[in-house]
Structure 1
Amino acid sequence: MSKLLSQGHRPESVTQDSENAGALNELLSIMRQLRDPVAGCEWDKQQTFASISPYTIEEAYEVADAIDKGNMDEIRDELGDLLFQVVFYAQIAQEQSGFAFADVANSMSAKLRRRHPHIFPDKNGKTILPQKGQWEQIKAQELLSAGINRDDSILANVPLGMSPLLRAQKLQQKCAKAGFDWDALSPVLDKLQEEIEEVMAEVNAPDPSQAAIEDEIGDVLFSVVNLARHVKVDAQSALRKASTKFEQRFRLVESLVRAQGQSVKDCSLSELEAFWQQAKKQ
């Protein structure tokens, strides 16, 4: 390799690493300029961890949306937006003498090596074959080493900040790994039907309670997530695609209505249903 380098030939991986480092340094430099107390952007200077957190969640969803569309240019741009969020947090932390971007990257590298002992050899050059449950054991040891009290619950480490659908899915997956799960689809469907009937019972009660209706609707949604999990469907992805499909069809309905010289607001429900069926065929 040294001969190749001396002749001006660089392995593709080395060249790529150099380009990556240069691009990242440029991004970090831009972030420092945006947060400069004197010459920085007024909006960027005012931001905190809490203020940009909602944007981070939004950017993550936009990445998922771009992946669903399969557009590589859009995926690249949305990943850039998400990376910018990480750089933003790191710059704020560095200003507070907390940590820098390099600390974030180094922490992740160390964690990946710890959690993949079957890939990365130890200091003696020995690799460890992966074992069932090893990942959770390593994470538990990390918490112990950090002086964090271990949560012994099966449901530990499922963040409250997750989207509700994803959190429901994660909770169910953890319980399933512990054996608390149906081994057939029939009882899952029965439970969903039971929850729907309980919703209707609350809706049709002599004195309906909105809180009780909300509680039962939550049970229905939780049961739908369970159904999705049992048939190996990601609930979030399924709902996102359903929403996209609905949006596309409704936009087509609007187009069909306008072609008739009408407005959606002026159409009856039966007329809109006819347009909807037409849109589905198209």
Structure 2
Amino acid sequence: MIDKIQNNDSSKKYSFDEFIDIIRILRGENGCPWDKEQTHESLKTPMIEECYEAVEAINNKDISNLREELGDILLQIALHSVIAEEEKEFTINDVIDEVAKKMIRRHPHVFSKEQVANTEEVLERWESIKKEEKQEESEIESIKKVPRAFPASIRAQKVLKKAARAGYGVNTYEEALEKIQEALHDMKTLREEPSKDEIDDKYGSLLLGIVNLSIFLGSNAENSLTNATDKFINNL
């Protein structure tokens, strides 16, 4: 395998299994010092960075760069899987098997006789099956499990959507606007030298209200802010 991989023939097309073997070699006794030092913890930031770089390629409609960035994400998946394999936790085949079974379970309208009328029903069924899989007894439990590692606006939007399905929060566009007005009023009534905690609390409530409004507008808060920032930069 090493001789085949060391071949510098640029016309060679590597398979998925060969790619995983390359990662094993890099992590092996005679491999790369950097690769051998990596752990699940040390690779957290690179995983996030590679995902954002792929999103940037999509935003730029740069297909060549997207192919490269997807490869970098695949590299992260391979590294984590080989590290887990070394620790006898799981293998890349376990990862593939689990996600394949998940796709089959969560698409009963495709892989069984269940019927759905539209995309909305598909998403509702997905959430229902997900809740059963994770043995979540309530929507509140589901809300608490939304990862804190998400970008703040994405996490807020997911939490607020789940809360709305559970009957919490505001129910109309007008009520969402009122919440923003209340938060703005609270900002105006801050004392002359408010503490950092007071500012964070009031400003955070205002931001949460704005994200909530985006749901009623059918907008993605993260994308809207990104586009507005781009517009600001382009107008400089």
Fold shared by both chains (TM-score > 0.5)? yes
Alignment of 1:195 onto 2:213: no
Aligned twin of 1:80: 71
CA contact (8 A) 2:146 2:155 kept: yes
Higher RCO (CA < 8 A, seq sep 6+): 2
- Indicate the larger mover: 21-30 or 60-69: 21-30
Counterpart-to-counterpart distance in 1, 2:194 and 2:134: 47
Shift of 1:180: 3.1
TM (norm. structure 2) is 0.83
- Indicate the larger mover: 39-48 or 89-98: 39-48
1:158 to 130, 139, 146: 146
Output the amino acid matched with 1:245: K
Shift of 1:106: 0.6
TM (norm. structure 1) is 0.70
Aligned twin of 1:233: 219
Superposed CA deviations along residues 248-268 of structure 1, whole A, max 9, x for unmatched, are 44xxxxxxxxxxxxxxxxxxx
Counterpart-to-counterpart distance in 1, 2:164 and 2:92: 37
Unaligned stretches of 5+ in structure 2?
A: 1-12
Q: Calculate percent identity across the aligned residue pairs.
A: 34
Shift of 1:63: 1.5
Helix, strand or coil at the partner of 1:44: helix
Instruction: Count residues with an aligned counterpart.
Output: 217
Counterpart-to-counterpart distance in 2, 1:184 and 1:234: 17
Shift of 1:238: 1.4
Say what the alpha-carbon RMSD is for the aligned residues: 2.1
Map 1:1-282 to 2 at 5 A: 22-36=14-28, 38-121=29-112, 127-130=113-116, 133-144=124-135, 150-154=136-140, 155-202=143-190, 205-249=191-235, 276=236
Helix, strand or coil at the partner of 2:111: coil
Counterpart-to-counterpart distance in 2, 1:221 and 1:198: 13
Shift of 1:206: 4.3
Helix, strand or coil at the partner of 2:149: coil
Helix, strand or coil at the partner of 2:42: helix
In 2 relative to 1, CA 34–244 (structure 1 residues): closer, same or farther, beyond 3 Å? farther
Counterpart-to-counterpart distance in 2, 1:98 and 1:51: 18
Helix, strand or coil at the partner of 2:103: helix
